Amino acid sequence: MIKYLIHHGNSAALVFDKPIMQLLNIDMKTPLEIATDGKSLIISPVKDAAREKKFRAAMAELHAKHGKTLAKLAK
């Protein structure tokens, strides 16, 4: 997909199409982190610390209950 910047006052803006926003599960209130590697822009949703903690706890519980079985299946 090729996008162009648009004028927004004295700045430039990049408009995200709704399907892209839905795919990334973001909306107008989602904080976004903008980084660069010197050649490209990298735009990603800011990770919610509480959500990350909840996810890690769920993964630990899953591993405790089914870790051995999953390891056998991986072989």
Q: What is the pTM of this model?
A: 0.54
What CATH number has the domain bearing residue 55? 2.10.260
Residue 39 lies in a domain: yes
Residue 29 lies in a domain: yes
Query: 11 in the Ramachandran plot: left (φ > 0), alpha (ψ -120 to 50) or beta?
Result: beta
* Separation of CA 62 from chain center: 23
What pLDDT shows up at residue 47? 79
How many CA atoms, within 13 angstroms, populate the side-chain half-sphere of residue 29? 1
In this structure, what token pair is assigned to residue 26? 């973001």
Residue 39, domain extent: 6-74
What pLDDT shows up at residue 46? 86
Residues 5-35 pLDDT 10s: 999 999 999 999 999 999 988 999 888 999 9
